[in-house]
Amino acid sequence: MCGILAVFGCIDNSQAKRSRIIELSRRLRHRGPDWSGLHCHGNCYLAHQRLAIVDPTSGDQPLYNEDKTVVVTVNGEIYNHKQLREKLKSHQFRTGSDCEVIAHLYEEYGEDFVDMLDGMFSFVLLDTRDNSFIAARDAIGITPLYIGWGLDGSVWFASEMKALSDDCERFMSFLPGHLYSSKQGALRRWYNPPWFSEQIPSTPYDPILLRETFKKAVVKRLMTDVPFGVLLSGGLDSSLVAAVASRHMVELEAACQWGSQLHTFCVGLKGSPDLKAAREVADYLGTRHHEFHFTVQEGIDALEEVIYHIETYDVTTIRASTPMFLMSRKIKSLGVKMVLSGEGSDEIFGGYLYFHKAPNKEEFHQETCQKIKSLHLYDCLRANKSTSAWGLEARVPFLDKEFINVAMSIDPEWKLIRPDLGRIEKWILRNAFDDEQNPYLPKHILYRQKEQFSDGVGYSWIDGLKDHANKQVTDSMLMNASFIYPENTPATKEAYYYRSIFEKFYPKNAARSTVPGGPSVACSTAKAVEWDAAWSKNPDPSGRAALGVHAAAYEEEVDAKDANLINGSPQKLPGIVEKATTVV
């Protein structure tokens, strides 16, 4: 990941203003510690902090067209840049950077080229011939981008809020799949896939097509000129990413330089079952596996830094981000600069345990659509900012545009959890990789249910956070929370504690409005809370609230206390077993 900052229409274009832009851009240096660049043209500034992944020697930014009349600063990876260069043979390229195609595509096609890009990206482009500019963000919002407005009429763009919050009167998260054009002075959506309308699809389930599309999604993300690996929790999603990647290591160009054995990484409290599960998968795949341990106190000590970097006060996002943040620092210390991760699968296939309560396929499908549309506020934000805090790039194959189109076109009847038919959550994905002749994973791993928090990594970590928050926030403070925080009022002491830290770093109204609110159970949307009357009684949005959906619940009744333990399967944070720990 890189860090970008762009400012257009400043009244002041003095040396002091240039110094201020450099100072603000420096706040993004953790995202791109390898080089800094700045282009000034009149009252326009484009700054860049580079993390060099492709073409480290010549790909410094900003990037230009042939005569430097088009300037672009990019954060991201364009996986189909070689194919796009074939369409641009009349253009002269200065670097081997995958992002340089953006300047030339604009020359060739004007503003209507963004849908041609296959990758994750946020970019800002200046056409100095008429001082017009555009900005765009990838389809799902894998890479972060913010837009802001200054009192002097200036328009700002930045990878993270911290680079523009002090100088903008108002700012907001730039919508995924959208483009801003200075000629229109407004955002418009460039990403218009069939699933976006949320109409119920009817395409039959084709396991071979689903498998082959995912394999392509993984392989294209192995484009790199630096050491890389896979975040492996031992859960289904990360295990499939690792299984596919390990099969294609030998054919990679990078294998000649970095070796053909895949590196995998996992984090957890010592003795946690997650570490054991990840080790089992790593041994089966023959990867070079690295285990990292952290303590509850180390996680608590990192909270302020985590919230500063991830720029949210959402409870489950902070819970899940902390282990990922700590692990990313360890990974970077090994010289690794890029990792593949498993985010997105639960949203696409309805993998969270609350989906067991979906009343019909229509509501199941609409919930998955809503979950994908909000990923940029939750799991994409976590995966990107937790890793970028240490100059590490995370790539997410499940959020490949083509793969999403294939997966979301399947009749959702196939995605429903059907115990009577032996179908657990994400059955269609598991079945697609159930290859008897050449197994990707052992059967018991392939069909392992999304599990509850382990005592070691799940409950002790979350309970440790709650205990710490209870010591920092009094009953009186929580009782008066609606007066202190009238917008998105925290309902628990843990939420209040995180909010107070967030407000210390980002005190403006615009900042707190970038964080979503509303009721949630196990990371559901507010609408899905209605699927079970009991859910509205539990203010904790973690997987513990999704009672009665674990496999054991189909076989016998348990009392409420036991149900809390048996069925507290993590969903987003929760990720410590399947997502957070090593982030699927």
CA atoms within 13 A on the CB side of 85: 14
Of the residues 2, 44, 99, 266, which is catalytic? 2
- Indicate the helix (H) or strand (E) that contains 299: helix 296-301
Q: Is 99 a catalytic residue?
A: no
CB 156 within 8 A of CB 7: yes
**How many Å apart are CA 409 and CA 311, to the nearest integer?**
34
Q: Is 558 annotated as a binding residue?
A: no
The alpha helices in 3-53, defined as continuous H runs, are 15-26
Instruction: For residue 475, give Cα distances in angstroms to 105, 471, 492, 537.
Output: 58, 10, 10, 20
What is the spatial order of strands in the sheet that 186-189 belongs to?
A: 63-64, 70-78, 119-127, 132-137, 178-181, 186-189
Instruction: For residue 33, give Cα distances in angstroms to 161, 181, 505.
Output: 18, 30, 22
547: number of Cβ within 10 Å: 24
Q: Is 267 annotated as a binding residue?
A: yes
Which residue in the block uniquely carries the two structure tokens 């036991």? 562
Per-residue DSSP letters for 307-342? HHHH----HHHHHHHHHHHHHHHHHHHTT--EEE--
CB 295 within 8 A of CB 502: no
Inter-helix orientation angle 361-373/401-408, to 10°: 170
For residue 30, give the 3-state DSSP assignment: coil
CB 408 within 8 A of CB 401: no
Instruction: For residue 310, give Cα distances in angstroms to 296, 418, 498, 501, 562.
Output: 19, 37, 12, 12, 34
Q: Is 341 annotated as a binding residue?
A: yes
Q: What does the block give as tokens for 30?
A: 């953790």
**For residues 328, 571, 237 and 329, what is the CA-based torsion angle, rounded to 10 degrees?**
0
Catalytic amino acids?
A: 2
Q: Extract the annotated binding site for L-glutamine.
A: 98
Which parts are annotated binding residues for ATP? Answer: 231, 267, 341-342
